Amino acid sequence: MAETEKQTAERILQALKIAQYTGIQSALADVDMARSHIGSGEDVERERAEAWLAVSALHQVLSTSSRNQGLDAHWEKAIDKTLAWLAKLN
């Protein structure tokens, strides 16, 4: 059975919440997975697009910054935008 968009959003939200407490390489892999899944949906409404942009920005910071300055703000934005996407689906 195919996963619904709501199930996808819920799974990605959980993955982001957990990944922020893991090591950089593990978090980077999880964020990359989230970015891929958000970006591959059939229906791309505003909330999903905003979640993708926030997760993509987080991925960029994780992959390029050795000190990860401002990382907390990127995690917060990615999670908040994913929550907004999920709320739109309810």
Interval 48-61: pLDDT, tens:
999 999 999 999 99
pLDDT tier for residue 70 given thresholds of 50, 70 and 90: confident
Percentage with pLDDT > 70 across the chain: 88
**Sign of torsion over alpha carbons 32, 82, 37, 52:** negative
Residue 66 confidence (pLDDT): 62
pTM of this prediction?
Answer: 0.87
Residue pair 44/88 in contact (Cβ under 8 Å)? The answer is: no
Helix (H) or strand (E) holding 74: helix 71-89
User: What whole-number distance in Å separates Cα of residue 30 and Cα of residue 80?
Assistant: 17
SS3 of residue 32 by DSSP = helix
- Rounded (5°) CA angle 61-41-17: 45
